[in-house]
Amino acid sequence: MKQRRNFIRKLGGLAALAAFPFPGRTRDPLVHSETSKDSESTFLHVVFFWLVDEAPETKKKFLFELRSFIDHVDLIRSKHVGSPAATNRDVIDNSWSYSLILGFDSKEDQDLYQEHPLHLKFIENASSLWEKVLVYDSIKTN
């Protein structure tokens, strides 16, 4: 009986591990995550967007415009587009529509990205779709 309980406990642990959202695996087709095998990002650019409305056509256009540039800028080492998780605690703000987390090799690469023509085109084409944007930049601490 004890062996059976240990087996079930281990099986449960493996099932929980299989359900863990590792980078690159997603359940929602609107959410996309990639990590680079080439380098570990040392500079993260984290952006939160509040769309003017949550209509499906607004979301679709926003995601189209976003993909039109992040999938084509070579300076980006890792990327994750997300929507609020179904979590509810006092410390959580899930009032935003989409998040964008981009990893870069350095602050200098992120500075170049800011002036990249595709990034500027995204801002021009999509800025009417959001009412608020909040950015947090972070460097890796050793």
Task: Name, in order, each residue with C-beta under 8 angstroms of 101's C-beta and a sequence gap of 6 or more.
Answer: 44, 45, 46, 47, 78, 79, 80, 82
Three-state DSSP state, 17: helix
What type of residue sits at position 136? Y
For the chain, domains (ranges, CATH) are: 23-139 (3.30.70.100)
Cα angle value 109/59/41 (rounded, 5°): 20
- What size, in residues, is the chain? 142
Which residue numbers in the chain have pLDDT < 50?
Answer: 4-39
